[in-house]
Amino acid sequence: MLLFIEQLFNGLQLGITLFLMSAGLTLVFGIMQVINLAHGSFYMIGAYVGATVTARTGSFILGILAALPAAALAGMLVEMLVMRRLYRKDHLDQVLATFGLIMFFNELMRVLWGRQPLFMDVPPWLAGSVELIAGIPYPAYRIAVIVVGMLVGATLYLLFTRTRIGMQIRAGASNREMAGALGVNIRVLYTLVFGLGTLLAGLAGVMAGPILAVEAGMGESILILTFVVIVIGGIGSIRGALVGALLVGLVDTLGRAFLPVLLRLFLSAAYADGIAASLASMSIYILMAAVLVCRPRGLLPAHA
């Protein structure tokens, strides 16, 4: 039971990280109708900039404050130079162009930082553990990741439901031509939305830095999970991204932790571990297939 509760928190932490990634990506796709395979590259940029500034200054907070604008500015620059030329193109052109951006950013990171991975230390003030439940200490840093994700989710909710810019974003997602006719500067709006999406990806990257190695290509693996989250939650839906991210995080973490134990009840340890590893890797895709069979547009689509 103690192990189950600990893995439950690990799944929640992974889900929150995936939410930070998927919220930005589903925002971009839902409003701009553009497939951005390079979204993981901005996750990588946030991690690299955050790790570098943290190492130079010794301050994790300064690392975060540097990573967020770096990812956002990189995103807005990409939107102005590349993405604007893709809005009227079909999805195949968008996939090919953004795949090229992945190659470009991976090589750029190797040129600027070298091929050796960077490592971030957990800040000293978050290095301990907290007993959320008696007898179950849990790393304070992972709790901080969960709290940050919840604050981001609440902020996005207020942004889209209580502010003028949120109203303009929702209008642009529903009918960009009508929003433009009513005086909304669609070009500026798209740049800001893309920058917000990449800022969230950069935040996910810098928060994952003390947990994972910071290296070129680190964005590709989480990008696959991010697309699974968006499909499960519903394309264009922030609420769906949150629900889908938590489901994927919990299913992936609990599957990897407990499938070997379960299968050892029926099989030898060697066979059980091998089969469990395969099934755990497949679990989120099985979940996605099951959701799509029942709800082809996802659990909480933006436009029901």
pLDDT at 303: 56
Q: From CA 4, how far away is CA 134, in angstroms rounded?
A: 14
Task: Catalogue the E-assigned strands of 80-183.
Answer: 129-133, 136-139
Q: From CA 304, how far away is CA 301, in angstroms rounded?
A: 6
Q: From CA 79, how far away is CA 86, in angstroms rounded?
A: 9
Report residue 168 as tokens.
């303009």
Please name the residues in contact with 147: beta carbons below 8 A apart, sequence gap of 6 or more. Answer: none
Among residues 10, 46, 80, the alpha carbon closest in space to that of 219 is found at 46
Q: From CA 214, how far away is CA 106, in angstroms rounded?
A: 12
Q: Is the pLDDT of residue 301 over 60?
A: yes
To which H or E segment does residue 47 belong? helix 39-57
Q: From CA 120, how far away is CA 123, in angstroms rounded?
A: 9
> In whole angstroms, how far apart are CA 174 and each of 31, 32, 170?
8, 10, 6
Q: What is the pLDDT of residues 177-215, one digit of tens each?
A: 777 777 778 888 889 989 999 999 999 999 999 988 899
pLDDT at 304: 43
Q: From CA 82, how far away is CA 27, in angstroms rounded?
A: 18
Q: What is the pLDDT of residues 167-178, one digit of tens each?
A: 887 777 667 777
pTM: 0.89
Angle, CA 79 vertex, CA 74 and CA 85 arms, to 5°: 145
pLDDT at 89: 84
Q: What is the pLDDT of residues 231-276, one digit of tens each?
A: 999 887 888 899 999 999 999 998 888 888 888 888 777 787 788 8
Q: What is the pLDDT of residues 100-134, one digit of tens each?
A: 999 999 999 999 999 999 989 899 888 888 887 77
Q: What is the pLDDT of residues 38-73, one digit of tens each?
A: 999 999 999 999 999 999 999 999 999 999 999 999
Q: Do 263 and 57 meet the contact criterion of CB atoms below 8 Å apart?
A: no
Q: From CA 231, how far away is CA 23, in angstroms rounded?
A: 12
